């Protein structure tokens, strides 16, 4: 995905303390909106992703993230830029194991671009699907009518997640697909 890495924080439409416990095969995880204090945990999460997952997430070979980029990923207004994380609460800590976000397109607040990443060790267990459903719900709730995603054409897991949401696919440029997900229905429908 090509999401910008920096955004300003102002209003909130989703309470920052909203949480959703979710029992994953790996234990109890909590899905909640990202918070500014997640910056260090976000840095660790991104650093621990495999090079392939980082490449697929950012459509670029990202080896390190600047303070400004990390702030952009964690200090969000939950309106223009909506971002959730899955945290593993084991041992009393809050280890980020996945992140998912959408950012409204400039001048087109009803359209937003999505980005998501799940820790390599937890991929293929339903977490990405759950996060995409959460994003779709939050997007509908915020009046977004269309989600967009740019996906490496070899990234079957992400293409499947988008197809599940009803995406229409087109080749954006060689090696990259553009997915467009029209969001109809109620805030609870996936």
Distances (CA, A) of 79 to 45, 100, 107, 179: 24, 14, 14, 22
185: alpha, beta or left? (left if phi > 0; alpha if psi -120 to 50): left
Region 157-176 residues binding ligand COA, contact defined as CB under 6 A: 157-158, 160-161
Helix (H) or strand (E) holding 124: none
- For residue 5, CA distances in Å to 2, 63, 67, 76, 107 come to 9, 14, 10, 11, 18
The Cα–Cα gap between 165 and 41 comes to 29
Near ligand COA by CB under 6 A, which window of 15-23, 65-73, 109-117, 138-146?
A: 109-117
**Is residue 101 a contact residue for ligand COA (CB under 6 A)?**
no
Q: Is 128 in the site for ligand COA (CB under 6 A)?
A: yes
Measured from the CB atom, the residue of 35 and 56 that comes closer to ligand COA is 56
Task: Select the residue interacting with ligand COA from 56, 80, 81, 148 (CB under 6 A).
Answer: 56
From residue 58 to residue 97, what is the string marking binding to ligand COA with x (rule CB under 6 A)? Answer: ----------------------------------------
Q: Which two tokens stand for residue 98?
A: 């996945």
Q: Is 153 in the site for ligand COA (CB under 6 A)?
A: no
Q: Report the nearest approach of ligand COA to the CB of residue 126 (Å).
A: 2
Total binding residues toward ligand COA, as defined by CB under 6 A: 22
- In the DSSP assignment, the letter for residue 72 is H
């Amino acid at each position: 995905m090509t999401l910008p890495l920096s955004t300003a924080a102002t209003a909130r439409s989703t309470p920052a303390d909203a949480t959703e416990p979710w029992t994953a095969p790996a234990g109890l995880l909590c899905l909640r909106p990202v918070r500014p204090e997640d910056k260090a945990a976000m840095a660790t999460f991104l650093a621990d992703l495999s090079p392939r997952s980082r490449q697929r997430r950012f459509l670029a070979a990202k080896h390190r993230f600047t303070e400004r980029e990390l702030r952009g990923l964690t200090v969000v207004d939950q309106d223009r830029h909506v971002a959730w994380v899955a945290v593993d609460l084991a041992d009393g800590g809050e280890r980020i194991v996945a992140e998912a976000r959408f950012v409204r397109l400039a001048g087109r607040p009803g359209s937003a671009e999505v980005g998501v990443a799940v820790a390599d060790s937890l991929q293929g267990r339903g977490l990405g699907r759950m996060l995409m459903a959460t994003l779709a719900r939050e997007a509908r709730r915020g009046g977004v009518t269309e989600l967009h995603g740019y996906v490496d054409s070899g990234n079957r897991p992400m293409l499947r997640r988008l197809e599940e949401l009803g995406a229409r696919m087109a080749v954006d440029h060689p090696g990259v697909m553009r997915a467009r997900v029209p969001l109809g229905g109620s805030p609870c429908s996936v």
